[in-house]
């Protein structure tokens, strides 16, 4: 694998489960076993009830575009080769909103409300980032 020169997520002890999941190409959402809240991003304690009895549920991987922005310039040097970058906030049916990039599509094809699905990219041996792409009809 060629050397990945972009910033990697600063993985925390309590988010390790999420990133272990992406390495197995699973999108895991933190879940509170005390109050049933789905939690994103992962924390040490449930932000609703402060329970530490937290586990993981596997998300369906489907989502809907809440908003997007196509970045054409002004990024740090290591991201220049990726321009244009389609930034998006996507809503998961599990009640979670995530920040991501939309991939495998052209900027002009993106719209709010578009159905997307997770796609995993193993960017290093240790880290897999989840991205989203349009659902093929």
Partner 1 sequence: MSKRGLAIVGIGEVPTSRDPERTRWDILLDVCMEAVRDAGIDKNQIGAVISNNPMAQPSMQNDMSLGKIPEVMGLEGCRDIAICNAGGASTTNCLRLAEQHIESGQADFVLVPHTTIQSDIPAQQLINFFATAPLDKQFEYPYGVTFNGSMGLITQRYMYETGATEEQLAAVTVALRAWGALDPLSIFYGKPITLEDVMNSRMISTPLKAKECNLLADGGGAMLVTSHDIAREMGEKAVYKRGHGTRFMSATPFMREDVFHRKAYRESSQDALEQSGLSIHDMDLRQIYGAYPYTQCSALEGYGVCEEGQGASLWADGRCGPGGDLPCTTMGDATGRGHTGSGVSMAFYLDTVRQLRGQAGERQVANCENAILTTSGGSVMNTCTTVFGRSPQ
* CA distances to 50, 79, 86, 107, 112 from 72, in Å: 41, 11, 9, 10, 19
Give the residue carrying structure tokens 């193993």: 122
Write down the least CB distance from residue 6 to partner 1, Å.
7
**For partner 1, which is the closer residue by CB, 77 or 125?**
77
**What is the binding site for partner 1 (CB under 8 A)?**
6-12, 15, 40-41, 66-77, 79, 82, 85, 87-89, 97-101, 107, 112, 129
DSSP notation for 94-114: TTEEEEEEB-SS-GGG--TT-
**For partner 1, which is the closer residue by CB, 111 or 137?**
111
**For partner 1, which is the closer residue by CB, 57 or 80?**
80
Q: How far apart are the first and last CA of the chain?
A: 32
């Amino acid at each position: 694998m060629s050397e990945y020169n972009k910033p990697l997520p600063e993985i925390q002890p309590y988010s390790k489960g999420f990133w272990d999941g992406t390495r197995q190409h699973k999108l895991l959402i933190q879940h509170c076993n005390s109050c049933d809240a789905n939690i994103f991003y992962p924390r040490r304690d449930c932000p609703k009830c402060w329970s530490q009895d937290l586990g993981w549920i596997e998300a369906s991987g489907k989502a809907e575009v809440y908003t997007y922005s196509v970045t054409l310039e002004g990024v740090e040097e290591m991201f220049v080769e990726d321009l244009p970058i389609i930034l998006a906030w996507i809503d998961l049916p599990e009640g979670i909103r995530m920040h991501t990039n939309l991939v495998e599509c052209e900027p002009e094809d993106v719209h709010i409300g578009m159905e997307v699905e997770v796609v995993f990219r193993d960017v290093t041996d240790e880290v897999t980032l989840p991205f989203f792409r349009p659902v093929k009809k």
